[in-house]
Amino acid sequence: MAALGTKIADILYGEVFLPYTIQRTTEKSAFVQSGIIVPDPQMDALASAGGKYIDLPFFNDLTGADEVLSDNALGVGKIGAVQDMARLHMRGKAWGVTDMAKAISGDDPMKAIAELVSDYWVRREQDLLFSSLTGVFLSNAATNAGAVAGSTDSEGHSNVAGDLISDVSVTDAATATAANLIGPDAVIDATAKLGDCADKLVAIAMHSVPFARLKKLNLIDNVPDATNNINIPYYLGLRVIVDDGITPTACTNGFKYTTYLFGGGAIARGNGNAPVGVETDRDSLVGEDYLIHRRHFVLHPRGIKWLEGSFTPSNGSFSPTNSECALAVNWGRVYCKKNIRIVKMITNG
């Protein structure tokens, strides 16, 4: 007679577990809660449509002066369309639990794994985003949109290398003064990179070291969430996201710290459908259960095109690794500067 009882497949049935995981990942993401990423069913559909690339066409703004009415015919203008492009990311992870581990623990390790999967994917998405931003701003610092500094973007605006980077740091951290550290002046100078569009900024992401400085200066406002259970940090009206995944860069006698300022909807995110999103398996001879999780998704800085043809996969996959996303050669700006809604700030702490 077949043994009765709950099996791993009963607890983690794929058609239920995968949508639940995606929902929980969204709910727990500070980037979603802050408005940096806005859930978009259209992006979900694009991420599910197949292919390696996601086309994101957009119209340029209207340009040209108006005309004084006369008996002469008005000149006819036109609107141009340009293509942004995102990369489909295909990622997966497998976990295993042996019968012996379960027996020794006196609990259910696989159930614990299932409950922690959402937190795992939140961290992995943030790591991928910061890797992508590294490549985006290396491109911005060097040639900006894959073009020589002084050329123009898709809307005819001049490309100036580093025009979205505010660097107040010094090479020797031992000589750093307040002007080289995070503070009101440094942040306001960074927001000024967007000119009269600075009011689009809604959040600021930083390493724990500059965050600690702001706390010591009593500059962090803690605002209760809707349930009054969690205090959310704000600085100068911007929601603060603290993540040590924003890796500091070593310099003489210390480090340089990167901080990112984001506007609402600056990052496009879509959840696609992997052919087999969740699988369970068991090796009876070893006595081990497996949970296998696969995801197809888009996580894309809007207006910074993934340059088709620039990427040669090195990992036996069509999907880039985090390290490959961090390369300048894979990114080129197609939005005008003010519509990018991401600014990079560099300080010594």
Render pLDDT for 260-308 as a digit per residue (tens, 0 to 9): 999 999 999 999 888 888 887 888 887 888 888 899 999 999 999 998 7
**pLDDT grade, residue 64 (50/70/90)?**
low
- Residue 10: pLDDT over 60: no
Phi, psi of 31 (to 5 degrees): -70, -35
pLDDT for residue 7 is more than 80: no
pLDDT at 253: 97
pLDDT (0 to 100) of residue 159: 65
Assess whether pLDDT exceeds 80 at residue 125. Answer: yes
pLDDT band, residue 207 (cuts 50/70/90): very high
**Residue 56 CB-density burial (10 A; 0-12 exposed, 13-18 middle, 19+ buried):** buried
> How high is the mean pLDDT of the chain?
83
Rounded to 5°, angle at Cα 226 from 223 and 231 = 30
Residue 90 token pair? 């295909």
HSE-up of residue 108 (Cα within 13 Å, Cβ side): 10
- Residue (of 128, 129, 115, 96) closest to 21 by Cα position: 115
Domain extents in the chain? 8-58+83-347
The structure tokens listed for 126 are 């943030």
Alpha-helical runs (H) found in the chain: 8-11, 14-28, 30-33, 41-47, 99-105, 109-142, 184-191, 208-216, 322-325
Q: Higher-confidence residue: 292 or 168?
A: 168
Mean pLDDT across 214-220: 95
Q: How confident is the model at residue 151 (pLDDT cuts 50, 70, 90)?
A: very low
- Alpha-carbon distance of 130 to 128, in angstroms, equals 6
How many CB atoms are located within 10 Å of the residue 346 CB?
20
Q: Tell me the torsion sign for CA atoms 246, 251, 253, 258.
A: negative
Residue 148: predicted pLDDT: 40
For position 181, what pLDDT does the model report?
Answer: 97
8 Å CB contact between 178 and 217: no
Least confident of 18-22, 90-94, 140-144, 146-150: 146-150
User: Any idea what the Cα angle at residue 258 is, between residues 166 and 296, rounded to 5°?
Assistant: 115
- Does residue 317 or residue 137 have the better pLDDT? 137
| Nearest residue to 338 via CA among 303, 300, 301 | 303
Q: Is 134 exposed, middle or buried (0-12, 13-18, 19+ CB in 10 A)?
A: buried
Is the pLDDT score of 150 beyond 60? no
Per-residue pLDDT at 5 exceeds 60: no
pLDDT of residue 254: 96
Q: HSE on the CB side for 286, CA within 13 Å?
A: 10
pLDDT single digits (tens) 225-243: 777 777 899 999 999 999 9
**Which pair of structure tokens corresponds to residue 64?**
């040209």
Alpha helices, DSSP H only, in 63-108?
A: 99-105
* Average pLDDT of span 323-345: 90
Measured CA to CA, the distance from residue 40 to residue 230 in angstroms comes to 26
Question: Under a CB-based contact definition with an 8 Å cutoff, are residues 284 and 305 in contact?
Answer: no
